[in-house]
Amino acid sequence: AKDAGRNTYRYVTEQLNSDSLEFMRITHELREAVKCKQFTVHFQPQIELATGDVVGAEALVRWNHPVEGLIPPGRFISIAEQTGLIVEIGEWVLHEACRQAMAWRRAGMPPLLMAVNMSAVQFKRGNVENLVRGALESSGLEAQYLEIELTESILLHDMDHMLSLLNNLKDIGLKLAIDDFGTGYSSLAYLKKFKIDRLKIDQSFVRDIASDPNDAAIVRAIVQMAHTLNLRVIAEGVENQEMLHYLSSCQCDEVQGYHFAKPMPPDAFAAFILGRKSE
Ligand code: C2E
Ligand code: CA
Ligand code: CA
Ligand code: CA
């Protein structure tokens, strides 16, 4: 048993060493990526259930690696957060998303809500209010067409600070959404205090809607309570007709997921919108 313990220990340290090498390698490359702007933003449509219209787009960053090609955010966001590089990456993403929103508008596309993810680290280390003002000003996008997605844990962390920070953002006129809702600990009543506009029901609840009666009940309850508090609800990870059907029976306001479209480069997104309009 002792040997097993020692082996486990050795295994763990080897794991840590190779992980930290990998960590340093990626950190180094990520610094380069920030310098050389090796990022790109894809957009995933958000569809209003009542009308079937595309009413929004979520901006999702990808790393355009010179050797490896497009790297999904799941492989670098966490490291970017740990190293603080997320502040610069996030700045770039917000500017790019606002710029793209205005480019689409100028090309004659109907106005969409542009939803941009913001990490807790950006709120801690960056000046989000200045960043937002800057991005709106340089793009010309009106604040009402911008939504910031944040997670519940940010709100719980430094409540008073976040309350004043988010109030300042609301004063600019933008919208606030809670991402991955249901996976954290916040109550709905408490969200109201933060002037949240919209909840995004986490994919994990949507995934098993058809097979897990608990998840189905949770989703229905979230929508009902959110509506009581005048919050809109969007479900993410909607992959099939069955999920869509259940969500619409719950009066969920909007949906997003592979059933409609994957996140796409700007041109493909524009083509998708055009295609739907001519249907
Ligand atoms: P998220 O904000 O929860 O974004 C939703 C993720 O689910 C996206 O993955 C999207 O492509 C994926 N998705 C959309 N529809 C479906 C579906 O029907 N089924 C399934 N299985 N997945 C679906 P993606 O683009 O790989 O992004 C992963 C995460 O990386 C995001 O999760 C978000 O937390 C983070 N992220 C992405 N872009 C940014 C960014 O600009 N800033 C920050 N801070 N985080 C970002
Ligand atoms: Ca999100
Ligand atoms: Ca999410
Ligand atoms: Ca997530």
ipTM of this predicted structure: 0.97
User: Stretch 73-88: mean pLDDT, rounded?
Assistant: 95
Give every CB contact of residue 157 below 8 A, 6+ residues apart in sequence: 120
Q: Is the CB of 119 under 6 A from ligand 1?
A: yes
The answer to whether residue 246 scores a pLDDT higher than 70 is: yes
Establish how many alpha carbons lie within 13 A of residue 29's alpha carbon, considering only the half-sphere containing its beta carbon. Answer: 18
60 Cα nearest atom in ligand 1? 38
**Atom 21 in ligand 1: which residue has the minimum CA distance?**
237
CA distance 269 to 197: 25
Q: Is the CB of 178 under 6 A from ligand 1?
A: no
Ligand nearest to the CA of 180: 3
Q: How confident is the model at residue 1 (pLDDT cuts 50, 70, 90)?
A: very low
The answer to whether residue 13 scores a pLDDT higher than 70 is: no
Q: Is the CB of 69 under 6 A from ligand 1?
A: no
By most ligand atoms within 8 Å of CB, the mutation choice from 38, 87, 117 for ligand 1 is 117
The predicted pLDDT at position 9 comes to: 56
Q: Is the CB of 257 under 6 A from ligand 1?
A: yes
**Which of 20-29, 168-177, 221-230 is the least confident region?**
20-29
Q: How confident is the model at residue 11 (pLDDT cuts 50, 70, 90)?
A: low
The answer to whether residue 186 scores a pLDDT higher than 80 is: no
Q: Is the CB of 184 under 6 A from ligand 1?
A: no
For residue 239, the one-letter residue type is E
The answer to whether residue 6 scores a pLDDT higher than 60 is: no
pTM > 0.80:
yes
86 Cα nearest atom in ligand 1? 44
Q: Is the CB of 180 under 6 A from ligand 1?
A: yes
The predicted pLDDT at position 207 comes to: 95
**Atom 17 in ligand 1: which residue has the minimum CA distance?**
237
* Residue of 16 and 119 predicted with greater confidence: 119
The predicted pLDDT at position 18 comes to: 65
259 Cα nearest atom in ligand 1? 18
User: Stretch 84-95: mean pLDDT, rounded?
Assistant: 97
**Cα 58 to ligand 1 centre (Å):** 9
Q: Is the CB of 75 under 6 A from ligand 1?
A: no
CA distance 151 to 148: 10
Q: Whole-angstrom distance between the N-terminal and C-terminal Cα of the chain? A: 67
Q: What is the pLDDT of residues 201-219, one digit of tens each?
A: 999 999 999 999 999 999 9
Percent with pLDDT over 90 in the chain: 80
Q: Is the CB of 90 under 6 A from ligand 1?
A: yes
The predicted pLDDT at position 171 comes to: 97
Give every CB contact of residue 72 below 8 A, 6+ residues apart in sequence: 62
* Residue of 104 and 18 predicted with greater confidence: 104
119 Cα nearest atom in ligand 1? 44
How buried is 123 (Cβ within 10 angstroms: 0-12 exposed, 13-18 middle, 19+ buried)?
Answer: buried
The answer to whether residue 2 scores a pLDDT higher than 60 is: no
CA distance 206 to 256: 11
Q: Is the CB of 100 under 6 A from ligand 1?
A: no
For residue 57, the one-letter residue type is A
The predicted pLDDT at position 279 comes to: 66
**Cα 185 to ligand 2 centre (Å):** 18
Single out the residue of 240, 242, 236 nearest to residue 263, CA to CA: 236
The answer to whether residue 16 scores a pLDDT higher than 70 is: no
